[in-house]
Amino acid sequence: MAPSFSSSTTSCAALDASKSVKTRREQVVLAYVLFAGLAGAVLHFVAGGEFSAIVTLSVMFQCLAMLLLFLQSLSSGSSDGISARALALEAFSLCCRLSSTTWLDGYLPVDASGDGIFQATDVCTLLLVVCLLVHVLAVQRASYQEQEDSLPILPMVLGSFVLAALLHADLNSRPLFDALWMAGLFIGVLAVIPQFWLVSKTGGRIEALTSHFIAMMAVSRLLSGIFMW
């Protein structure tokens, strides 16, 4: 009877794993569909097709990237493959950006999406980042790869603030907040490096949704770069 019981257990485990994969796939598809609908609505009905809306689309892609990473954490019940240091840099970047965009107009898109949607998207992204940090560092700490996630980030933060103090623009006409916005930009560009470091330290192994996260962050940075160019 023992072999039969073992076979039954294995079959149930395989079935549960299959259901989990299917559920995760459905969640990802739903996230993409909802994002596509929201992005299209913002671009055509709110921004009126204005080129400046590309900045809002950039932060929406960033929000989608964080949502996909959060779905990975929830569906797998593990923080395996997620860099807390990368998330910390993203949180720094978002806080610096919001310190300017929540009350100053200098770095907002000039279309209607800059009247609240842009800022609300950044706030949603920051909340997702905070939730992810709580999961990685507290709820799922047992699976956090702390030894591999070892890239120092303090020099990145300090270097970004020094460069921002020297190179910031003046669209806000307030040097402090101009510098904070620029520091957020520099830190945001560097934020993905600890994630790549973690992937390299774990033998190049990467979860499917982590690859989606990296891809969406790349699209976000590309759109931002196109606008600034």
CA-based torsion, 119, 125, 129, 130: positive or negative: positive
Q: How many residues comprise the chain?
A: 229
Confidence of residue 9 (pLDDT cuts 50, 70, 90): low
Report how far Cα 119 is from the mean position of its chain's Cα atoms.
15
Nearest CA-CA partner of 72 in 135, 154, 149:
135
First to last CA, the chain: 70
> What confidence category does residue 139 fall into, taking pLDDT thresholds of 50, 70 and 90?
very high
The tokens for 65 are: 């990237």
**Pair 15, 52: CB distance under 8 Å:** no
Contacts of 216 (CB under 8 A, 6+ apart): 61, 62, 64, 65, 68
pLDDT tens for each residue of 142-190: 999 999 999 999 999 999 999 999 999 999 999 999 999 999 999 999 9
Largest CA distance in the chain: 79
Pick the closest to residue 75 from 14, 11, 135, 21 (CA basis): 21
